[in-house]
Amino acid sequence: MNKLTVDLGDRSYPIYIGSGLLARRELLTPLVQGRQVMIVTNETVAPLYLKAVQTGLEGSRVEAVILPDGEQFKTLVVWNQIFDALLAAHFDRHCIVLALGGGVVGDMAGFAAACYQRGVGYIQIPTTLLAQVDSSVGGKTGVNHALGKNMIGAFYQPQCVIADTRVLETLDDRQLRAGIAEIIKYGLIRDRDFFKWIETNIKALLARDEAALSYAIERSCHNKAEIVAADEREGGIRALLNFGHTFGHAIETGMGYGDWLHGEAVAAGMCMAADLSHRLQRLDSQGLDRCCNLIEQACLPTWAPATLSAERMLELMAVDKKVQDGQVRLVLLDAIGQASVHGDYDQALLQETLTEMRA
């Protein structure tokens, strides 16, 4: 087992990464002993791992709420089911909300914990690769709105993240590839050596090589933990984590939540951001090719869907958390491993990218 720390002073918390961690009762006991615990999970994960987690929580009062599975259910209506369960069980302000699932479960459970009785503790046990390397770390929580992804939420840090690599054995190939997209992102925005490692080991990651996956998860979490510690609420460097996301969120919203997985949309968005970076003469042609070739090797989309026009993409991008003073701020690449945020760029070149980068 490896342990990383997200350094936020008195709100610092550990990230445990390893195989078989669901059976390690000592990881949870100090946080939950004798307390009320509400496990938030979904219909896919519950039959696989709910019993194992419940067993590890003996000595506490444990209840569970099982949500429908899918990005299309990341709504205020479904989110309210968590409050229904907490209130029906008469849970008090000393309870713990435990997220057992992928990014949708983690985001909704964390947001519920931030709001229930004005804030209760919560723990993340991510069960998808994408959640293990990205969404479970950093305290971004929330739900989607029909007009924009993750537009309703809160910054609220967990007390602990437990990433059990063994649960990835039950993850389908499409979800695995979606997680690899976020792994590639870290190499592109700030870790050139990691990007080179991914280029060399992409086949091992796709083949679920345990050593390769463990290393990729740890390196990704290390990168994110450093960024979050330096800029918890996205006032500066943390914005780099949005590389490809403004384009990607527009794809997710425009196609209807659940049609494209988050990682798939981000993969296409990263290629679009790299293309725009090249058009703006920030990224050379070799860097553009390496970025898009690696994403293609990961069996991920490199183009936006043809059914979304450039005009519709622009409209959707304008409803984004990164918009500032009416200007869509984009993360662009200056080189492999180096990114920066820009609000002042040639709109005509953005239009070219949106027009030409469609399947």
Active site residues: 118, 140, 182, 224, 234, 238, 242, 245, 249, 262
Measure CA 287 to chain center.
25
57-72 burial code (b ≥16 CB/10 A, e <16):
beebebebbbbebbbe
* Spatial distance between the Cα atoms of 204 and 163, rounded to a whole number of angstroms: 19
Residues in contact with 350: Cβ distance below 8 Å, sequence separation at least 6, in sequence order: 276, 314, 330
What dihedral do alpha carbons 210, 216, 218, 223 form, nearest 10°? 180
Sign of torsion, CA 166 167 172 174?
negative
**Three-class DSSP category at 336:** coil
Which token pair is 283? 């990224």
Among 108, 101, 232, CA closest to 164: 101
Q: Which residue has the tokens 């993360």?
A: 331
Determine which helix (DSSP H) or strand (DSSP E) holds 177, and give its type and residue range: helix 173-190
What phi, psi does 25 have (nearest 5°)?
A: -60, -30
